[in-house]
């Protein structure tokens, strides 16, 4: 068994074309029914304002599968520590032996989440998309945009965040990366001219309304990953011409579809899963004016995909 630290992993894995292709291949296998993926194991520790999620998946024919333990300790910034941590363990699918432990402290989760957003945009957004409205100002708000550049010629950002100082810091960071950035005092203003909207927040109440959606926009919502989080108002889902999620079961429990599931209602629209869209080569955007929405809750197949890529690069040296 080999143990790799975060700095070693960061040196060989980043938000790049190969990472995108690897995660996209995982989604495609999921869409073809070639993945065994159990439900997420989640546990909260309310007295410490912390939580843990365990995700895993086996992609049929792949030599290794990953089990990821992801922790969130949300008082950590007061301690001078990052909120998120964790590790990934890679096992031989044939022998069950541990091949490696990747002590990535959440780094690989960041990468696979970012490229998943780019994959969604690749298959759902307009090819001429250049302007992105970013709701949130944390790490994923930055990484989602970096990944989008792999699939679209993004050059202009409009940002809204609950904390104006957070939005200012985000704007400074992204300007240094060559983007034109404007800050806004409302979600509606930030989204007014967007080609793509990315919501990347821990919000527990809807932030985006149907009235915020310009014609032809694509929305990637990736902040709702637990039963108590929501970013999209129900009106966004019913207004969209196309709704896609990474996993319907997870979206109904953790993601944006829970507004219907919790009320015992069927959504009044067709629910597509991203893996099937990819594996079948479906073109769901039927016109430049169509509005598309993708809800990403984060799947075990993404973790097995990115961990396998990391191990192959680490072994190759």
Report the catalytic residues: 68
Identify whether the C-beta of residue 115 lies closer than 8 Å to the C-beta of residue 276. no
CB atoms under 10 Å from CB of 206, counted, come to: 18
Closest by CA to 226, choosing from 283, 277, 291, 298, is 298
**Dihedral (Cα; 8, 6, 25, 249), 10-degree rounding:** 170
Chain center to CA of 193: 23
* Cα distance between residue 199 and residue 140, in whole Å: 9
Any residues with CB less than 8 A from the CB of 291 and at least 6 apart, and which?
213, 215, 216, 217, 218, 219, 239, 240, 241, 242
Give the 3-state secondary structure of residue 224: coil
Helix (H) or strand (E) holding 1: none
**Helices 17-31 and 107-124 meet at what angle, rounded to 10?**
70
Identify whether the C-beta of residue 116 lies closer than 8 Å to the C-beta of residue 151. no
Closest by CA to 32, choosing from 40, 24, 44, is 24
**Helices 300-316 and 107-124 meet at what angle, rounded to 10?**
120
Any residues with CB less than 8 A from the CB of 149 and at least 6 apart, and which?
none
Give the 3-state secondary structure of residue 221: strand
Chain center to CA of 99: 27
């Amino acid at each position: 068994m080999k143990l790799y630290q975060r700095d070693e992993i960061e040196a060989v894995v980043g938000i790049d074309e190969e990472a995108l292709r690897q995660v996209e291949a995982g989604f495609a296998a999921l869409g073809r029914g070639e993945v065994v993926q159990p439900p997420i194991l989640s546990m909260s520790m309310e007295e410490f304002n912390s939580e843990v999620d365990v995700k895993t998946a086996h992609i049929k024919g792949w030599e290794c599968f990953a089990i990821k333990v992801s922790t969130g300790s949300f008082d950590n910034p007061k301690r001078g520590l990052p909120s998120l941590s964790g590790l990934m363990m890679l096992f031989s699918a044939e022998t069950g032996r541990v091949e490696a432990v990747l002590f990535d402290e959440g780094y690989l989760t960041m990468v696979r989440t970012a490229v998943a957003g780019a994959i969604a945009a690749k298959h759902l957004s307009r090819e001429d998309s250049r302007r992105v409205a970013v709701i949130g100002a944390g790490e994923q708000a930055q990484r989602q945009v970096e990944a989008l550049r792999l699939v679209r010629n993004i050059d202009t950002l409009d940002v809204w965040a609950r904390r104006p100082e957070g939005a200012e810091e985000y704007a400074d960071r992204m300007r240094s990366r060559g983007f034109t950035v404007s800050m806004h005092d409302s979600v509606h203003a930030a989204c007014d001219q967007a080609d793509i909207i990315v919501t990347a927040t821990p919000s527990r109440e809807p932030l985006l309304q149907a009235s915020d959606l310009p014609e032809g926009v694509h929305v990637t919502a990736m902040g709702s990953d637990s039963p108590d989080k929501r970013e999209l108002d129900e009106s966004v889902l019913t207004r969209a011409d196309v709704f896609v999620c990474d996993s319907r079961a997870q979206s109904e429990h953790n993601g944006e579809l829970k507004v219907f599931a919790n009320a015992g209602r069927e959504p009044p629209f067709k629910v597509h899963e991203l893996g099937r869209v990819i594996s079948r080569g479906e073109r769901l955007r039927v016109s430049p004016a169509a509005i598309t929405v993708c809800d990403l809750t984060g799947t075990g197949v993404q973790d097995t995909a990115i961990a396998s890529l990391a191990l192959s690069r680490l072994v190759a040296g």
